[in-house]
Amino acid sequence: MAEIEVHELYGGEVKIDYYPKKHWYKRHGKNEFLTSMTAATGVVDKSNVLIPWAVRVYQEYMTDGIAEIGGDSISRKVVEALIEAGQNEHRKIKDKAADYGTQVHDFAEQFALWKTNRAEKPAVKQGMPNEVLAGINAFIDWYTAEDITFVNSEFLVYSRKYDYVGRADMLFRKNGDDGLYLGDYKTSKGIYDDMRFQVAGYRGAYEEEHKIKLAGHAIFRFDKETGAFDEPRYFTQKDYVADLAAARHCVALKGRLKQLEKEYRNSNK
């Protein structure tokens, strides 16, 4: 039987079933799945970032391969072999790189859970790659320098008004101030538009439920290739207003696309 967590929000007025292994959200007691902010912002086209990167990886693979094999004397068969092998090079790099970033990401998540008394202290394991250790150390340095207090971690947010759900990574204070910030971890090469919309959507849902204004929100990026952790990217109030509006439009667009898909299926039965 699938593992299910029942989350109560809005003082118990809203109950949501969460399936952690599948990252599904469903209205409690109803056969009705909710639109997640991740799924909604998935409508944002990311090909303008991913395609040039994959092409660049392929070009580097071909250039290095030709130079290593023999330059001007290379045969047609060797070129064809390089072309075939190079087609999957971006996937290999992605899989290997994600391992570094994901390990640092996982440590940071566990660290926040530990600080909010919801998990054991994460261990720095013997034999961890230097890239992972450097990322972990940078994260701890940030935590110490900013005098961070984690208030909550790995919690559901839901907007009753716009009907979307999500799972935020953490709520924190910094420098001993009273202001609350919402933070989200990302393992990537950069901070992309859909990420901005997603975390703004989380903040909007949290503020709606709790009827408060947060001091801000930030994205914590762990480099996909090196595992490196940079300073978190904080967003201005102006950014927040614009990005939240975009997030809500993504929800509406996702909903309409689902309606059209259902109509198309029914018309072809």
Q: 89 and 119: one domain?
A: yes
AA identity, residue 111: F
Instruction: Give me Rg for the CA atoms of the chain.
Output: 22
What average pLDDT score do residues 11-30 get?
91
Q: 72 and 194: one domain?
A: yes
| 73 occurs within a structural domain | yes
In this structure, the number of other CB atoms found within 10 A of the CB of residue 22 comes to 9
Q: What is the pLDDT of residue 54?
A: 63
Poorest-confidence range of 20-24, 62-66, 189-193? 62-66
| 253 occurs within a structural domain | yes
How big is the CA angle at 41 (ends 255 and 165), to the nearest 5 degrees?
70
| 216 occurs within a structural domain | yes
Q: 100 and 222: one domain?
A: yes
State how far the Cα of 240 lies from the Cα of 246, in Å rounded to an integer. Answer: 10
How big is the CA angle at 98 (ends 91 and 69), to the nearest 5 degrees?
45
Q: Which CATH number covers residue 176? A: 3.40.1350.10
Contacts for 131 with CB less than 8 Å, ≥ 6 apart: 100, 226, 227, 228
| 135 occurs within a structural domain | yes
State how far the Cα of 110 lies from the Cα of 126, in Å rounded to an integer. Answer: 17
Comparing 49 with 194, the larger pLDDT belongs to: 194
- Give 214: exposed, middle or buried? Use CB within 10 Å, 0-12, 13-18, 19+: middle
Q: Find the domain containing 165 and state its range.
A: 48-267
Task: Report whether pLDDT(97) > 70.
Answer: no
| 263 occurs within a structural domain | yes
Q: 62 and 133: one domain?
A: yes
Q: 194 and 167: one domain?
A: yes
| 39 occurs within a structural domain | no
Q: 15 and 93: one domain?
A: no
Give the pLDDT band (50/70/90) at residue 156: very high
Q: 182 and 251: one domain?
A: yes
Q: 126 and 165: one domain?
A: yes
Poorest-confidence range of 120-124, 187-191, 213-217? 187-191
| 52 occurs within a structural domain | yes
Q: What is the domain count for the chain?
A: 2
Return the structure tokens found at 228.
Answer: 């490196």
| 258 occurs within a structural domain | yes
Q: 24 and 74: one domain?
A: no
Q: 88 and 21: one domain?
A: no
Q: 29 and 133: one domain?
A: no
Contacts for 257 with CB less than 8 Å, ≥ 6 apart: 43
State how far the Cα of 267 lies from the Cα of 185, in Å rounded to an integer. Answer: 41
Comparing 5 with 176, the larger pLDDT belongs to: 5
- Contact assessment for residue 226 and residue 131, using Cβ atoms and an 8 Å cutoff: yes
Q: 109 and 228: one domain?
A: yes
Return the structure tokens found at 234.
Answer: 């904080």
pTM given for the model: 0.81
Each residue's pLDDT tens digit, 225-259: 788 887 899 999 999 999 999 999 999 999 999 88
